[in-house]
Amino acid sequence: MTFTTIIAIVLIGLIAGILSGLVGIGGGIVMVPLFVLFLGITQHNAQGLSLAVMLPPVTLLAVYNYNKAGGGLDWRIAVIVSILFIIGGFIGSKIALQLDQKILRKLFGVMMLIVAIKLIFSKS
């Protein structure tokens, strides 16, 4: 692993972590494109790597800060969504692995565009 690769990995981790704590994003929206662009790995591998990063409780301290600040987190919703997230992640990964790299990358880009347009132009 080259020094440049190590620096890229460090920056991707820091940027994704900061944005995750700041605005609740990090995995797919930040890490996947950066893995592809700066590390030159495939879309499939970038998506798998992004998921692997989230295996440990990477957001534990960020959640602690939000909850401590009186965020009033509804833990019932968190548990239900977590369980369904696990099931959905399994199903989604099976589908993604059947898709061609180019189609998967375009699908990923379209999803990011839809979210960006919605956020930019929504009135609330």
What is the residue-wise DSSP string for 30-82? IIHHHHHHHH---HHHHHHHHHHHTSS-TTHHHHHHHHHTT----HHHHHHHH
Write down the pLDDT at residue 77.
85
Residues 47, 96: contact at Cβ < 8 Å? yes
For residue 29, give the DSSP letter.
I
Write down the pLDDT at residue 89.
87
Who contacts 53 (Cβ-Cβ below 8 Å, separation ≥6)?
13, 16, 27, 31
pTM, two decimals, is: 0.73
- Cα(106)–Cα(93) distance, integer angstroms: 16
Q: State the pLDDT confidence band at 95, using cuts at 50, 70 and 90.
A: very high
> Is residue 100's pLDDT more than 90?
yes
